[in-house]
Amino acid sequence: MEINGEELARLITKAADDKKALDINILDLRGISILADYFVICSGKTEIQVKAIARAITGEVEEELDIELKRKEGMDQAKWVLLDYADVIVHIFQQEEREFYELERLWGDAKEVTWES
């Protein structure tokens, strides 16, 4: 199944929302970054929840779209988990880490993509 970056970001967002991820944002980085077209940023309250969100996302993307995960970082401590799908990079934080790194502020030029839960 062919899917574009925004559609992938929305599918990832739904999987995160299903696991009760907090403060989910999709940032459109097209034209301002060579890293990816979209970031999906969200938070979990605990290490267990962050890991559950990451597993739900990887499971959903693999099952629904058969898209290969390029890189996964941070699962050991689960303070900041990064899932790299090339066009979309997912950042799953524990709240304290998210407040410290402030990715939304760092990428303040990016447009927020609206989504519905």
- What distance lies between CA 63 and its chain's CA centroid? 17
Round to the nearest angstrom and report the end-to-end CA distance of the chain: 23
pTM: 0.94
pLDDT at 2 > cutoff 80: no
Give the pLDDT band of residue 115 (cuts 50, 70, 90): confident
Compute CA 83 distance to the chain's CA centroid, rounded to the nearest angstrom. 7
Fold of domain 5-113: Beta Polymerase; domain 2 (3.30.460)
Average pLDDT, integer, range 59-78: 93
pLDDT at 1: 63
Choose among 75, 102, 83: nearest CA to 40: 83
